[in-house]
């Protein structure tokens, strides 16, 4: 089929209405499909002014402006159409308009609308499943003054949906928990929350991951290209976790986006403008990194519009006990265990431990202890189930004003209690394990009033 035949088939299509006007809006050509829609003959319309036949025709606007109008809704009687009207030039002079409309009867239009709604709901469901926040401020457990203060600041931050937020804190303190809570408490809550781990994605892939790419941008690029996380997050929040691990090159790309609020896909020249909130998090000291030229100072100040520094668990007083009691019922469901709580000996271990891994470590420790307790048909976690914890020397200090001798006595007492528990309170085995005389052990048990029977 040559081009002329193809054009003829295109113009004579039964699902396409075609119209050609001159610059004055006079009809020069109309196909049979359009004639049937208008319910007129060719003689009644050729050479006539289109405004007298369809006054609202977009084709007439194009003959005056010389600018195309694409993808407009067009309805005549029961026919719903999608129209395109493009100007026709000759020697750079506007000479008319070529317009066509794809049309469907009212039942086809309804089917199309239903199909579009179905696809849209499928897309929304996918976004909800993969790009949504799960935790809110009610999931942040704690009664210590420092965690209450930082939580209040974060709640106020949520009311300002355009503010960039920098969250710092040790590993396991709950930085992402705060990020998700801010998103869910903001007007962006119905839109995507997308997490990007800057440390887990190689630099050569991170750019494509964030900004997307067009077809042919690089070897192996997907046909049709792919949107980046920033594009998918439009209207919502993007959480840049471990931003301290981002290279200087990528830092400069993020800085440009924060300044312009637009970016360009890899392999494209067309800018994409999006409206997203940036929340960044790191366990590194960015100020020190700025001094060492490892982190861009201008990016640091762009991100640090509002700073949340999450306190470590060891500085949160009795929150470790509160968190443990909160986590046990939830972990029971995950692990299918039947642990009802913590014995006094376990509470003491948890209270005195330093928790270098913070809440994440507490969760892992509880999981292990609950499995051990369940295997032994124990409804309570005791200090025996926490024996794998390596007590740090400074973790036994409950009050900072204790004397050195008191600290040493408490430390010695805890070693004895743990050794006795590990040896099922058999004094002979305990003395042998500690490589001490049995008489010395009896003396210490009496001195520290360790109730073996209890």
Q: Would you state the pLDDT for residue 146?
A: 94
Q: Would you state the pLDDT for residue 156?
A: 94
Rounded CA-CA distance 187/451 in Å is 58
Superfamily of domain 14-106, CATH level 4: PAS domain (3.30.450.20)
Q: Would you state the pLDDT for residue 388?
A: 78
| pLDDT, tens digit only, all 454 positions of the chain | 455 565 666 666 666 888 899 998 999 998 888 888 888 888 889 999 988 888 777 888 888 888 888 877 777 766 777 788 898 888 878 899 998 887 655 445 455 555 555 555 555 555 555 677 888 999 999 999 999 999 999 999 999 988 999 999 999 999 999 999 999 999 998 888 999 999 888 888 898 899 988 877 777 677 778 888 998 888 899 999 999 999 999 999 999 999 988 888 888 888 888 899 999 999 999 999 999 999 999 999 999 999 999 999 999 999 999 999 999 999 999 999 999 999 999 999 999 888 989 999 999 999 999 988 888 888 999 988 888 775 443 444 444 445 556 666 776 787 788 788 888 888 888 888 777 788 888 888 888 888 776 5
Whether the domain at 137-309 and the domain at 317-447 fall into the same CATH topology:
no
CATH of 137-309, picked from 3.50.50.60, 3.20.20.30, 3.40.50.300, 3.40.190.10, is: 3.40.50.300
Rounded CA-CA distance 92/108 in Å is 40
Class of domain 317-447: mainly alpha
**Closest alpha carbon to 170 in 323, 351, 316, 295:** 316
Q: Would you state the pLDDT for residue 115?
A: 58
pTM equals: 0.61
Pairing, β 380-381 against β 341-342: parallel
Q: Would you state the pLDDT for residue 183?
A: 95
Domain ranges of the chain: 14-106, 137-309, 317-447
**Closest alpha carbon to 342 in 313, 362, 314, 312:** 362
């Amino acid at each position: 089929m040559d081009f002329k035949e193809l054009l003829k088939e295109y113009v004579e299509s039964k699902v396409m209405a075609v119209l050609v006007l001159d610059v004055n809006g006079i009809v020069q050509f109309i196909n049979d499909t359009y004639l049937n829609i208008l319910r007129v003959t060719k003689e009644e319309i050729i050479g006539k002014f289109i405004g007298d036949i369809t006054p609202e025709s977009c084709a007439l606007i194009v003959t005056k402006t010389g600018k195309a109008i694409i993808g407009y809704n067009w309805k005549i009687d029961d026919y719903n159409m999608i129209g395109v009207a493009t100007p026709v030039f000759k020697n750079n002079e506007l000479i008319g308009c070529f317009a066509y409309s794809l049309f469907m009867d009212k039942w086809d239009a309804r089917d199309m609308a239903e199909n579009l709604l179905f696809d849209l709901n499928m897309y929304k469901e996918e976004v909800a499943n993969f790009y949504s926040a799960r935790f809110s401020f009610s999931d942040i457990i704690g009664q210590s003054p420092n965690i209450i203060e930082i939580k209040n600041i974060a709640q106020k931050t949520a009311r300002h949906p355009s503010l960039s937020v920098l969250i710092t804190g040790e590993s396991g303190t709950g930085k992402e928990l705060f990020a998700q809570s801010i998103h869910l408490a903001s007007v962006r809550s119905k839109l995507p929350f997308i997490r990007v781990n800057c440390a887990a994605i190689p630099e050569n892939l991170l750019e494509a991951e964030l900004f997307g790419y067009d077809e042919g941008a690089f070897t192996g690029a997907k046909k049709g290209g792919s949107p980046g996380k920033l594009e998918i997050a439009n209207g919502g929040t993007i959480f840049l976790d471990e931003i301290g691990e981002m290279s200087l090159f990528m830092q400069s790309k993020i800085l440009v986006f924060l300044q312009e609020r637009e970016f360009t896909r890899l392999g494209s020249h067309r800018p994409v403008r999006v409206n997203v909130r940036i929340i960044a998090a790191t366990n590194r000291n960015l100020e020190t990194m700025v001094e060492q030229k490892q982190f861009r100072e201008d990016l640091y100040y762009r991100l640090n519009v509002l700073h949340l520094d999450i306190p470590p668990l060891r500085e949160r007083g009795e929150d470790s006990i509160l968190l443990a009691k909160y986590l046990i019922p939830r972990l029971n469901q995950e692990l299918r265990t039947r642990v009802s709580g913590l014995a006094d000996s376990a509470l003491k271990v948890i209270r005195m431990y330093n928790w270098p891994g913070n809440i994440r470590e507490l969760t892992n420790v509880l999981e292990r202890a609950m499995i051990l307790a369940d295997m032994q048909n124990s409804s309570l976690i005791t200090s025996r189930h926490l024996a794998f914890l390596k007590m740090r020397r400074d973790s036994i200090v409950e009050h900072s004003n204790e004397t050195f001798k008191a600290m040493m006595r408490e430390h010695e007492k805890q070693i004895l209690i743990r050794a006795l528990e590990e040896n099922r309170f058999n004094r002979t085995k305990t003395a042998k394990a500690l490589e001490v005389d049995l008489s010395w052990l009896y003396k210490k048990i009496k001195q520290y009033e360790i109730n073996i029977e209890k």
